[in-house]
């Protein structure tokens, strides 16, 4: 079975776009903290506008387009999932809870048995 390997080439323009997106995020955060005297509305406005601009610049680059394609593929795969019915989900949840209770009892019993063996029988430290 042959698989094809697809190599993507990142150009200088794409690297510049990603760098610009990072710079916009940093600028938005800096603006948010530097504009504390201007009021919260200005602070949040600068932050939101800066982040939206960073996302827009990132999505115009090749890595951004690949990210969008990955998201679309993920949604397609999620639609293919056969989800359990309500009855099946409740049954599996009860199985898990039952297993947890059984394991808790087993571990408690093991702990108490070892405590009795070590402290009472071997060391003689009776309570």
- Domain co-membership, 77 together with 116: no
Are 35 and 51 part of one and the same domain?
Answer: yes
- Measured in degrees and rounded to the nearest 5, phi and psi for residue 47 equal -65, -50
User: Do 91 and 48 have their domain in common?
Assistant: no
User: Residue 3 — pLDDT band, cuts 50, 70, 90?
Assistant: low
For residue 123, the model assigns a pLDDT of 85
Sequence-distant (6+) residues with CB within 8 A of 60 are 17
Q: Are residues 112 and 101 in the same domain?
A: yes
pLDDT score recorded for residue 125: 78
Indicate if 1 and 45 belong to the same structural domain.
yes
- CA pair distance 112, 78, nearest whole angstrom: 46
SS3 94: helix
Q: 93 and 47 in one domain?
A: no
What are 50-74's pLDDT values in tens digits? 999 999 999 999 999 999 999 999 9
Structural domains counted in the chain: 2
What's the rounded Cα separation, in Å, for the pair 29 and 22?
11
The domain in which residue 70 lies consists of 1-81
Biggest CA–CA distance in the chain, Å, is 77
Q: Does 87 lie in the same domain as 77?
A: no
Q: Are residues 69 and 88 in the same domain?
A: no
Please check whether residues 42 and 77 belong to one and the same domain: yes
Residue 11 shares a structural domain with residue 67: yes
pTM (two decimals)? 0.56
d(CA 54, CA 104): 50
């Amino acid at each position: 079975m042959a698989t094809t390997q697809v190599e993507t080439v990142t150009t200088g323009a794409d690297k510049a776009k990603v760098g610009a997106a990072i710079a916009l995020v940093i600028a938005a955060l800096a603006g948010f903290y530097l504009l504390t005297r201007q009021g919260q509305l200005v602070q949040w406005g600068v932050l939101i506008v800066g982040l939206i601009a960073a996302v827009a610049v990132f999505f115009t680059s090749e890595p951004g387009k690949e990210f969008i394609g990955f998201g679309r593929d993920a949604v397609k795969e999620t639609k293919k999932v056969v989800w359990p019915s309500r009855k099946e989900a409740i049954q599996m949840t009860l199985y898990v809870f039952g297993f947890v209770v059984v394991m808790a009892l087993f571990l408690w019993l093991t702990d108490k048995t070892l405590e009795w063996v070590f402290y009472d029988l071997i060391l003689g430290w009776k309570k």
